[in-house]
Amino acid sequence: MARRPIEPFLWILFSAGGVFAALLIPVLLFLFGLAFPLGWLAPPSYEHLVAVLGHPLSRVLLFLLCTSWLFHGAHRFRYTLYDGLQLQHLKELIVLVCYGGAIVGSVAAGVCLWRLP
Amino acid sequence: MSDSGYREFRPRWYRPRMSTWWWLKRWSSLAFILRELSSIFVAWFVVFFLILVGALGRGGHGYHEFLSWAASPSIVILNAVSLAFIVFHAITWFNLAPQAMVVRLGGKRVPAALIAGANYGAWVVTSAIVAWLIVGG
Amino acid sequence: MADRIVLEVARYRPEAEAEPTLQRYEVPFRKDWVILDGLNHIKDHLDGTLAYRWSCRMGVCGSCGMTVNGEPKLTCATFLSDYAPGPVRVEPLRNFPIIRDVIVDIGDFMKKLSAVKPWIIRDSEKPLAEGEYRQTPDELDHYKQYSMCINCMLCYAACPVYGLDPEFLGPAAIALGQRYNLDSRDQGARERHKILSKHDGIWSCTFVGECTKVCPKNVDPAGAIQRYKLTSALEWVKDFVMPWRGQ
């Protein structure tokens, strides 16, 4: 009996991450990356931000979102290395670096969100 | 040249090799690779976001340090480029969604424009809700 | 308006040269001529040694696919007037080994086509007395688009993944697998799943979308592949949640 394939699962993570990235990252990056630092919009108060992000539901949601975004990026980047740079002979290394990085990043996200006051 | 008998002729097939720079040869290929490279900027956003979360752990003081750091020219440029790539990802994703998901209502296929439109609508609504949650208060 | 146009046609004579070259021919330029008419003129009047495939000359047999000015096209469906004043470069389809001139070997595709079992598979045939298999127009609509494939392989020529990895099953084969999976008379989806969901099956595809752009019959193989990825992923979830499901 062949090993159960992992590829469909990775594709599901990629797809979910892609949808969430498309829907949520533009507004978040616009606000925190440009609007607030450059003063286009008044940044929210520290207390408000911590209240919104620190809510248990937010923490769980953000953890799941970060994980999906990281796996989306890892999966896509893996295939870009195959197609763009024709690095198929380094397949095992690429898989390790990409998904390993995503796992490390997800753990880091969990720790950071846990530590939020 | 005369042949004394049957000589089997085996033609040597020509197999062109695909260049490593194949994606620079047409606009559509370049657009495809840029779309795929948006993955790097998605990962950068997660890092940036976690830096924000870490900064919040250092109190109001940490938060303001983060905002100053985020206002520095190199970070602003990085985030502007990232935003461009991620918006490109979003647009290409929503435009391709109808091809990947065929929805049938009453036996007929829902037109592609409607499915893409619904995705864009969801984008606007979600962004509005998130912005309201963060800015409000 | 000029009444002649230059065709630069790839020549490859393995008995005489190591690499393909381009040979210039000047052919009459008629508003209603297609590239294939130009090639036939060359063969009939200018150079009988030119080797190329063609058959129906009306876009249904899939024989005359070539690379015209860098794009995969059916030469019987591509007008010379679109390229006036020329020259028009005619080369073999990309991503396939070149046998001679603009003729490529399609054996790899034929192998992959049989691998997806492009025929109605049933657990048991209905006895003749029970009559024909009936299908509503809506059921036909489910797969009709994918049945339009003429096996011209323009999609393989356009697909960068196939160019980089010749093991990739490829757009047409997967679309044809889907044509049968979505046919209400067919019961072979599980059997095709084994071939389609191998790593070099649907999972190598990165939805570049070039295949759909070049398809002369609007089959939309890219859409077929993405839809099957979703189907396969849902199958995976079902198998994961209910491992006791039938083998």
Q: What is the CATH number of the domain that holds C83?
A: 3.10.20.30
The verdict on C56 and C139 lying in the same domain is no
Whether residue B7 contacts residue A72, with contact meaning beta carbons closer than 8 Å, is answered with: no
Distance CA C14, CA C98 (A): 10
Interchain contact, C203 vs A88, CB within 8 Å: no
Helix or strand run (H / E) with residue C22: strand C21-28
Question: Band of the pLDDT at C246, cuts 50, 70, 90?
Answer: low
DSSP letter (8 states) at residue B106: T
**Residue B29 domain flag:** yes
Q: For residue C199, give the chain A residue with the closest CA.
A: A7
Cα C110 to chain centroid, rounded: 11
Which CATH number goes with the domain that contains A88? 1.20.1300.10
**What string of DSSP letters covers C23-48?**
EEEEEE--TT-BHHHHHHHIIIII-T
Does residue C87 have a cis peptide bond before it, meaning omega lies within 30 degrees of 0? yes
Kindly state whether residues C133 and C236 are assigned to the same domain: yes
User: Beta C65-68 vs C103-104: how paired, if at all?
Assistant: unpaired
d(CA C118, CA C116) in angstroms, rounded, equals: 6
CA dist C243 and C10 (Å) reads 55
Predicted pLDDT at A117: 80
Residue B6, pLDDT > 50, answer: no
Q: Are strands C88-91 and C4-11 parallel, antiparallel or unpaired?
A: parallel
Distance from CA of C37 to the nearest CA of B (A): 26
Specify if A2 maps to a domain. no
B6 domain-assigned:
no
The answer as to whether B15 is a domain residue is no
pLDDT digits (tens, 9 = 90+) for C96-105: 999 999 999 9
Per-residue pLDDT tens listing for chain A (117 residues): 345 788 999 999 999 999 999 999 999 999 999 999 999 999 999 999 999 998 999 999 999 999 999 999 999 999 998 877 777 778 888 999 999 999 999 999 999 998 888
Minimum CA–CA partner of B35 in chain C? C208
Per-residue confidence band for B1, with pLDDT thresholds at 50, 70 and 90? very low
Residue C135 has pLDDT above 90, yes or no: yes
With contacts defined as CB-CB under 8 Å, which chain B residues touch C230? 100-101
Cα A62 to Cα A67: distance, rounded to the nearest angstrom: 8
Q: C247 in a domain, yes or no?
A: no
The tens digit of pLDDT for each residue in C15-72 reads 888 999 999 999 999 999 999 999 999 999 999 999 999 999 999 999 999 999 999 9
Range of the domain at C75: 4-104
> Within this chain, do residues C36 and C8 fall inside the same structural domain, yes or no?
yes
Number of structural domains chain C divides into: 2
CB pairs under 8 A between B and C: 62
pLDDT value at residue B101 = 87
| Residue B113 to chain C, least CA–CA distance (Å) | 15
Q: Could C20 and B100 be called an inter-chain contact, meaning their C-beta atoms sit closer than 8 Å?
A: no
Q: Name the minimum distance, in Å, from the CA of A69 to any CA of chain B.
A: 7
Contacts of A48 in chain B (CB under 8 A): 137
**CB-based contact C208 B32, cutoff 8 Å:** yes
pLDDT tens digits for B53-74?
Answer: 999 988 889 999 999 999 999 9
Give the number of domains in chain B: 1
Q: What is the pLDDT at residue A92? A: 87
Rounded Cα–Cα distance for residues C52 and B41 (Å): 47
B37: domain CATH number is 1.20.1300.10
Q: Which domain holds residue B102?
A: 24-135
